[in-house]
């Protein structure tokens, strides 16, 4: 069904999901369940099992068995690529359905959800290529008697923990690379957005992924997430979420010294010079904070703008945000949807109140929006912001932009780097010297010049400073899920140690 031509409604009754173990769904049975309400409609949409630690152990055991008998890692890159390509085709065919459940649980606009599924299709296709090109190295410079090889091997069983802001996109920025490397996995989605992670299970199975290679355990972070992080039979954990929980993962992963990949928070600068194309820059800055209701780790939440244009430019951004269509996520016309969780809604409104109390001035927005159902917040711009204010320092994870002016390029760089985070940054200027100087000196893992929040699977993702460890996506990302082995091969007769 082409849902883009039909008016979509939430389901009349919530859909029941089982968790995914060894190639099959396991219904909740007598386990407790999470009942998820659509943040855009306030009505129940899904029911997901609260798995027990025995369930977790079963999923890890399935992933371990699948890894050890080499049913996946023993295949050629070409055979693994074929499964990833087939997955992409099925995802493409089921785009509308996946987007629908994503929007219902997350609150993001349906058109955006469809776009994200399209992005996931592209990532699976890219990762298929990586599966075939992943390789080690050789050393032919060790003298005639020694030949060296560096082989690349999958790390083993990977635990994957994902957040609620891009449940399917973040999953698909990792799963195809984990599988391309030959690893098997157990993933734990956020308890409020598990549906699409579970749907991927049946899609991978249909595409030919052997049972046990992809398992999904559902439950809360403090119970199942923590237990997965501590698990003695998991070789690597890829965690995407808040810096606070990332820090607790550091401790928990010490259980068996599992390798850690951490993709954490950000408070990302948008540096705008007076010589930029101001119309483009205003649109980009508005997009950078409005997209996904600002619930993006890479949202451009700090506008650092040349003082000579600060007031005019802030008004331009405010005008753009006022024109953005906030509303029912299932409406095709909506550009900004609902705030995903009640707790996040309270957090954002709390920061807006704090910004006012601390003396910042609201240029636009600054309040909840009553759309009749669900929870919505007007995109908000604050001026008169000083570096010590909470709204300037903390990751708000909502549609709240702070404006800070600068006089010189050095000052812009200093303000941009004045944060514990280093996830992403954008710079807007038509001057190549300024663009490259800022790009080289601002400490962030992902940079945009005269654009923002764009890219594809070729370029890796990850943070500097307290925004994380390691990289996901691209060739660099797949290598994270491998370990290397040095092989020394002696040629010819050995020089004896004992005569
Ligand atoms: P969160 O840290 O609360 O939760 C993330 C995941 O961790 C969820 O699945 C949760 O159930 C689980 N979890 C919670 N407590 C845990 C524990 N003690 N042990 C193990 N797992 C636990 O984050 P969130 O609120 O879902 O997402 C928002 C945060 O994620 C923001 O800080 C955002 O910047 C960050 N994020 C980062 C990236 C990135 O790529 N850097 C991408 C998206 C989101």
Q: Which tens digits make up the pLDDT trace of 213-224?
A: 999 999 999 999
pLDDT at 1 over 70: no
Q: Which of 172, 191, 297, 306 is an active site residue?
A: 297
pLDDT digits (tens, 9 = 90+) for 181-198: 999 999 999 999 999 999
Whose Cα sits closest to atom 19 in ligand 1? 226
Tell me whether residue 263 is one of the annotated catalytic residues: yes
Q: How far apart are the first and last CA of the chain?
A: 80
Cα 106 to Cα 339: distance, rounded to the nearest angstrom: 8
Picking from 406, 461, 460, 486, the residue whose alpha carbon sits closest to that of residue 438 is: 406
Residue 361 alpha carbon to ligand 1 centre in Å: 31
| Residue from 305, 325, 328, 329 nearest 315 by CA | 305
Please identify, by atom number, the ligand 1 atom nearest to the C-alpha of residue 241: 30
Of the chain, the percentage scoring pLDDT greater than 90 comes to 98
Nearest residue by C-alpha to atom 42 in ligand 1 = 297
Ligand 1 atom with the shortest distance to the CA of 242:
32
Q: What is the dihedral of CA 65, 66, 71, 73, to 10 degrees?
A: -110
SS3 488: strand
Which pLDDT score is estimated for 303?
98
- Give the model's confidence band at 5: pLDDT under 50 very low, under 70 low, under 90 confident, else very high: low
Burial class (CB in 10 A: 0-12, 13-18, 19+), 407: exposed
Across the range 313-317, mean pLDDT stands at 98
Q: What are phi and psi of 33, to 5 degrees?
A: -130, 155
pLDDT value of residue 250: 95
Which among 241, 251, 258, 474 is the best mutation to test ligand 1's pocket, defined by most ligand atoms within 8 Å of the CB? 241
**253 C-alpha to ligand 1 centroid (Å):** 16
* Of 172, 221, 222, 265, best ligand 1 pocket probe by most atoms within 8 Å of the beta carbon: 221
Query: Which of 34, 39, 116, 163, when mutated, tests ligand 1's pocket best, judged by the most ligand atoms within 8 Å of its CB?
Result: 163
Give dist(CA 176, CA 337) in Å, integer: 28
- Does residue 3 carry a pLDDT above 70? no
Torsions phi, psi of 176, nearest 5? -65, -30
Per-residue pLDDT tens for 103-122? 999 999 999 999 999 999 99
**Dist. CA 221 → ligand 1 center (Å):** 9
pLDDT-derived band of residue 138, with 50, 70 and 90 as boundaries? very high
Ligand 1 pocket by C-beta < 6 Å: which residues?
Answer: 161-165, 170, 188, 190-191, 220-222, 225-226, 229, 240-242, 245, 248-249, 263-266, 297, 395, 397, 423, 461, 463, 468
Nearest CA owner, ligand 1 atom 22: 221
Q: Cα-flanking dihedrals φ and ψ of residue 194, to 5°? A: -95, -15
CA distance 313 to 406: 13
Give 165's pLDDT tier (boundaries 50, 70, 90).
Answer: very high
Q: Count CB-CB contacts under 10 A for residue 447.
A: 16
Query: Between 260 and 2, whose confidence is greater?
Result: 260
CA 243 to ligand 1: nearest atom:
32
Given a contact cutoff of 8 angstroms between Cβ atoms, the answer to whether 192 and 340 are in contact is yes
Q: In the prediction, which pLDDT does 485 show? A: 98
Mean pLDDT of the chain: 97
pLDDT bracket for residue 372 (50, 70, 90): confident
What's phi and psi for 139, nearest 5 deg?
Answer: -125, 110
> Atom 23 in ligand 1: which residue has the minimum CA distance?
241
C-alpha 453 to ligand 1 mean position (Å): 20
Tell me the CA–centroid distance for residue 244 and ligand 1, in Å.
9
Q: Does residue 54 carry a pLDDT above 60?
A: yes
Residue that is written with structure tokens 């990751």 in the block = 395
- Report the interhelical angle of 432-441 vs 409-417 (nearest 10°): 30
Output the residue whose Cα is nearest ligand 1's atom 6: 163
- Secondary structure (DSSP) of 46-100: EEEE---HHHHHHHHHHHHHHHHTTTTTTS-HHHHHHHHHHHHHHHHHTHHHHHH
Q: Which of 263, 395, 479, 480 is catalytic?
A: 263
pTM (global) more than 0.95: yes
| 183 flagged as catalytic | no
In this structure, the residue with its CA closest to atom 35 of ligand 1 is 241
Q: Is the pLDDT of residue 12 over 70?
A: yes
419 vs 133: CA distance, rounded Å = 38
Which three-class secondary structure state does DSSP give residue 431? Answer: coil
> Given this model, what pLDDT does residue 234 score?
98
Q: Determine the pLDDT at residue 259.
A: 97
Neighbours of 234 (CB within 10 A): 26
Checking if the pLDDT of 85 tops 60, the result is yes
Whether the CB-CB separation of 344 and 331 falls below 8 Å is answered with no
Q: DSSP letter at 292?
A: G
- Joined tokens for residue 266: 């950000």
Q: Which atom of ligand 1 lies at the shortest distance from residue 219's CA? A: 11
351 band by pLDDT with thresholds 50, 70 and 90: very high
Nearest-CA residue for ligand 1 atom 8 is: 190
Say if residue 4's pLDDT is above 90. no
Task: Return the bridge partners of 153, or none.
Answer: 483
**Beta carbons of 48 and 34 less than 8 angstroms apart:** yes
Rounded distance from Cα 163 to ligand 1 centre (Å): 5
Mean pLDDT, residues 239-259 taken together: 95
CA 128 to ligand 1 center in whole angstroms: 27
């Amino acid at each position: 069904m082409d849902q883009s031509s039909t008016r979509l409604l939430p389901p009349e009754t919530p859909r029941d999901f089982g968790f995914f173990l060894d190639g099959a769904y396991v219904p909740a049975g007598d386990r407790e369940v999470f009942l998820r309400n659509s943040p855009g409609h306030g009505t129940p949409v899904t029911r997901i099992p609260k798995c027990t630690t025995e369930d977790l152990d079963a999923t890890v055991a399935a992933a371990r068995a699948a890894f050890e008998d080499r049913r996946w890692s023993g295949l050629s890159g070409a055979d693994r690529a074929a499964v990833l390509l087939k997955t992409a085709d099925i995802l493409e065919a089921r785009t509308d359905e996946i987007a629908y459940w994503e929007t219902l649980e997350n609150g993001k606009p349906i058109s955006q959800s469809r776009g994200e599924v399209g992005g996931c299709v592209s990532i699976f296709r890219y990762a298929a290529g990586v599966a075939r090109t992943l390789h080690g190295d050789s050393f032919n410079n060790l003298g005639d008697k020694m030949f060296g090889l560096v082989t690349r091997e999958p790390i083993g069983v990977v635990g994957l923990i994902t957040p609620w802001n891009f449940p399917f996109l973040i999953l698909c920025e990792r799963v195809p690379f984990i599988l391309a490397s030959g690893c098997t996995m157990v993933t734990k989605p956020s308890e409020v957005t598990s549906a699409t992670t579970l749907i991927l299970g049946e899609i991978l199975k249909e595409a030919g992924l052997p049972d046990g290679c992809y398992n999904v355990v559902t439950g809360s972070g403090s119970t199942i997430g923590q237990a997965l992080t501590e698990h003695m039979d998991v070789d690597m954990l890829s965690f995407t979420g808040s810096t606070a929980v990332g820090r607790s993962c550091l401790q928990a992963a010490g259980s068996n010294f599992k390798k850690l990949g951490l993709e954490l928070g950000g408070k990302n600068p948008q540096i705008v010079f007076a010589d930029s194309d101001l119309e483009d820059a205003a649109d980009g800055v508005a997009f950078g904070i409005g997209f996904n209701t600002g619930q993006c780790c890479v949202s451009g939440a700090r506008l650092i703008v040349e003082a000579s244009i600060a007031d005019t430019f802030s008004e331009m951004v405010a005008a753009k945000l006022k024109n953005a269509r906030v509303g029912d996520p299932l409406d095709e016309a909506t550009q900004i949807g609902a705030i995903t969780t009640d707790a996040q809604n309270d957090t954002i409104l709390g920061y807006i109140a704090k910004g006012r109390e601390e003396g910042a001035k609201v240029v636009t927005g600054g309040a909840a929006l009553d759309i009749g159902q669900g929870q919505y917040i007007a995109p908000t711009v604050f001026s008169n912001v000083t570096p010590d204010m909470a709204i300037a320092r903390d990751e708000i994870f909502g549609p709240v932009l702070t404006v800070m002016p600068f006089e010189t390029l050095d000052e812009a760089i200093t303000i941009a780097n004045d944060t514990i985070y280093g996830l992403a940054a954008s710079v807007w200027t038509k001057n190549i010297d300024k663009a490259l100087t800022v790009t080289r000196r601002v400490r962030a893992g992902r940079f945009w010049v005269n654009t923002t929040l764009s890219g594809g699977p070729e370029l890796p993702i990850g943070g500097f400073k307290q925004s994380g460890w390691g990289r996901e996506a691209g060739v660099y990302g797949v290598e994270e899920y491998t370990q290397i082995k040095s092989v020394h091969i002696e040629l010819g007769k050995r020089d004896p140690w004992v005569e």
